Structure 1
């Protein structure tokens, strides 16, 4: 994984002028304006936490994607491109899109039709309140920690590029996110994420195009990569994966099962920060289409992350070398080298937008889970709706303040990308095991859900601690993450089966609409006119995304 630590501030500082700052100021004002506009539509807690379940698929789909375009996507994947070459596309074409399609086609109907507010609430209905509380606490902790990563990474970039002090960058960014989420709730976050998606592209596309022109186009880039430290292997995705002799140092089994199955499905299908966008859709079909709409642009994101990473590798001879720039400097170096003022302001704004979109997703997920799955479910039940609306706003304030604190925690890690991937192996991999078994095996019992999830999470922690202590040798941090996720999944599955055989299941009447093969006949068809048109079929569009992903691999096999 890339070593996302400090940026070399002295020689990365950009020559920004008033025009660039004007672009930044316009962005801040637009973000706050969207928050104020969205506030007028917030009358109930459902409006605040799930946008009243009223948004069309193209809005929720772009927000779904934008919520993921945070620190790791922009800086981290460009750094991966420079360090590992074309093999980085695995994180998109096998490590994201198949899981996104599975979420839309298979899992989203269960989430949406059950009318739950969150993933932990779904676990309560499928299993019990103890499983809900366990997942709610671990999710809330994870979102605060990841929000801190986004804030810290943003502070590093702003400090390096604009010369802002670390704490000033953290506080200003946190305050902007706090303002628009508190004002307009999830609607504000989603509409800002849609706007931020286009701002991010507006910042990254010029970097990609001008970078390719500078190195002589695609063919010129390929020639220069062959003469770089990566060599010919840097231009291939699967070559050498049968032996592990490739830039990633990974075997195809680890890529397919570790990344493509456990980590990918664990993240995309159970991470409420993403699923929440689908739950805000106007009907079941729109909810199913949400991750599938997002899958198509996701297939193309490597063009503005991986390619710039390769361009930086061949343009800056000291990249990744001792005493030189780090791989994480790839995007900032290209911005300073290629972009004129004005366009530079757009690019800096795009970076800022990516971090803020990621943090807003973390905070909006946190306030919903804290309010509904911790406070309402286990502390103060049966209060008026206005009480929970106010609590949600206060939870947003608390979440942002806690995010500022965890940003300082993130600053103590030498590799925050490793830190992030470790969090995913702790919390997402075991949750996916509990979910997928509970979805397809109706015999799985309520206490199997709790003990399976708890044991899988503990196993992931134990695997990480033993690796860091030198007791287990997984080789690289990347492989340790894959093994940790796999261990969590297997332990969770084994414990789930054992506890299921020792405890009583729920009656089928309580499982209708929550498990495969037991539909809830009481739920009316919520389709709108046009939903059943062939071109709006989630299955057809999902299959199309998978085919496009497979075809994209062909030139880079």
Structure 2
């Protein structure tokens, strides 16, 4: 079968070098991965710039590059809300207000924090829900890669899935979280080097920004101006975007999803852990330059994209094929491979930690040696990859991969966020308030999706409003149950709830080392970008 690209020897050489490099990192780090703390948390010894890039890169998977470039071509700059209001405020909040509690608790995972704040039952529900979601999202990454390389290179779907799964399996099983993080950092730079030239070449070809705007439909370069009503690409107004995406969906992902939070847990100090998501926010704001901007350029270059045989999903691949010569094509394809493997590796390493500590150690084998849990972590890595391969075919039942992912997040992340927000900032929240709030939120998410016949203009609008109402139900049930049940003694909440214990100050540190100053600076840039592209 022929694909969109025809690779030459030098292109295959670049791809092989990348695969070899990923495996070598795993083998080199294996000797430094002896304890559970090393394997699951990188020894809590990594510097901010590494954890910050990894924090952001774990989210920069295949669905981000392919899905968001497709969204840019189909919807325009309105798609940028997923990066700006849908990420930046939550990342800053995570660093300033939530990370101190995480780090002070010395929890090894998000479910373990829930055990400390609430009880074992709440931890168990969260661990099982997170494990299921993580494997399903890993399957999405695998399926996306297999489908893309079948289209681009003519490779078989199953062969592509198995190859990438095998590479991720080896380097994560050998080096644990450290291996995953170092590969994510490498993958980030590879993605930028492989994809950013498309934006630059495309803008030059079209005559700069003004030339691009002249070839796009009216309003396609604005993010907010069309949100006065539901008649826009997102199918919802500014209130749905702010409440559903900017508040619930965004905060639920960036503050409590262990896939990204685990990277901050690996930081070498509390200050480094707090700065990690804030550092990542500076990078996150400019990621649209390598995906959404690519979609706009694709629409200008291929005016008939989205019609006939050319899918919006081919926005980025089509531009790679048009602009890149031999060698650079190999770099672009390798960048796409790196994005797929980055997303999957992040999910697998998070699943491995939660399975080992929050399910296996908590309920199956409580008193084993540290070496035994490292062994179980490697076994869980193998099992997780195998299950992800099997789950990858579930994605075939959804018309849009991005819609599938957002649906999963509304099912699992939104209710967990409701419980976290109350638990971290309200001392009166009780263990059973947390448990029943979480259970009711997950249950309501499924009921809302499958049994409440509400029609939304777009899947995005449905996910935004579903997330909002799931959060409302979770919060309401959590408060009501807490008012009639007994809270934990205040001494058990020290360091893990606002107002119980001393909040650390960084007064006297240089400005660029202070989380508060960096958070304000990031917020200012965020506001400026939204004004520019209003």
TM range (shorter): over 0.9
Q: 1:549 aligns with which of 513, 526, 531?
A: 526
Partner residue of 1:455? 440
Partner residue of 1:440? 425
How do residues 422-501 of structure 1 correspond to structure 2 at under 5 angstroms? 422-466=407-451, 471-501=453-483
Distance 1:427 1:131 in 2: 13
Distance 1:127 1:378 in 2: 17
Distance 2:509 2:46 in 1: 18
Structure 2 regions of 5+ residues with no counterpart?
Answer: none
- 1:244 is paired with a residue whose SS is coil
Q: 2:228 aligns with which of 242, 258, 261?
A: 242
Change (3 A) 1:531 1:353: farther
How do residues 15-164 of structure 1 correspond to structure 2 at under 5 angstroms? 15-164=6-155
- Runs of at least 4 residues off by over 3 Å: none
How much does 1:198 deviate? 0.2
Q: Does 1:348 align with 2:325?
A: no
CA RMSD for the aligned pairs? 1.5
Distance 2:293 2:97 in 1: 33
Distance 1:190 1:181 in 2: 9
- 1:444 is paired with a residue whose SS is coil
Distance 2:230 2:401 in 1: 25
- 2:397 is paired with a residue whose SS is coil
Partner residue of 2:380? 395
Partner residue of 1:184? 175
Partner residue of 2:514? 537
Worse overlay, 207-216 or 390-399: 207-216
Partner residue of 2:317? 332
Q: Are the counterparts in 2 of residues 233 and 247 from structure 1 also a CA contact under 8 Å?
A: no
How do residues 266-305 of structure 1 correspond to structure 2 at under 5 angstroms? 266-305=252-291
How much does 1:240 deviate? 2.3
Distance 2:119 2:283 in 1: 37
Distance 2:368 2:162 in 1: 33
TM-score, normalised via structure 1 length: 0.94
Q: Deviation string for 1:345-370 (max 9, x for gaps)?
A: 00000000011000000000000000
Change (3 A) 1:520 1:395: farther
Change (3 A) 1:408 1:42: same
Q: Does 1:513 align with 2:513?
A: no
Q: Are the counterparts in 2 of residues 234 and 247 from structure 1 also a CA contact under 8 Å?
A: no
Worse overlay, 471-480 or 185-194: 471-480
How much does 1:250 deviate? 2.1
Distance 1:89 1:379 in 2: 44
Q: 2:189 aligns with which of 194, 198, 210?
A: 198
Worse overlay, 411-420 or 546-555: 411-420
Q: Deviation string for 1:8-34 (max 9, x for gaps)?
A: x86x52021010000000000110111
- 1:386 is paired with a residue whose SS is helix
Q: Are the counterparts in 1 of residues 173 and 382 from structure 2 also a CA contact under 8 Å?
A: yes
Q: Does 1:262 align with 2:239?
A: no
Worse overlay, 475-484 or 363-372: 475-484
Q: Deviation string for 1:38-81 (max 9, x for gaps)?
A: 11111101100000000000000001111000122101111111
How much does 1:520 deviate? 6.4
Q: Are the counterparts in 2 of residues 283 and 526 from structure 1 also a CA contact under 8 Å?
A: no
Distance 1:106 1:79 in 2: 35
Q: Deviation string for 1:218-258 (max 9, x for gaps)?
A: 11000001xxxxx2121211112122333333200011111
Q: Are the counterparts in 1 of residues 104 and 496 from structure 2 also a CA contact under 8 Å?
A: no
Structure 1 regions of 5+ residues with no counterpart?
Answer: 1-8, 226-230
Distance 1:248 1:452 in 2: 29
How much does 1:139 deviate? 0.3
Q: Deviation string for 1:411-441 (max 9, x for gaps)?
A: 2322221111100000111110000011111
Worse overlay, 202-211 or 405-414: 405-414
TM-score, normalised via structure 2 length: 0.98
How much does 1:319 deviate? 0.8
Aligned length, in residue pairs = 534
Q: Deviation string for 1:454-488 (max 9, x for gaps)?
A: 10011111111135xxx222232111101210121
Distance 2:109 2:85 in 1: 26
Worse overlay, 20-29 or 157-166: 157-166
Q: Are the counterparts in 2 of residues 42 and 48 from structure 1 also a CA contact under 8 Å?
A: yes
Q: Are the counterparts in 2 of residues 285 and 531 from structure 1 also a CA contact under 8 Å?
A: no
Q: Are the counterparts in 1 of residues 235 and 456 from structure 2 also a CA contact under 8 Å?
A: no
Distance 1:535 1:188 in 2: 28
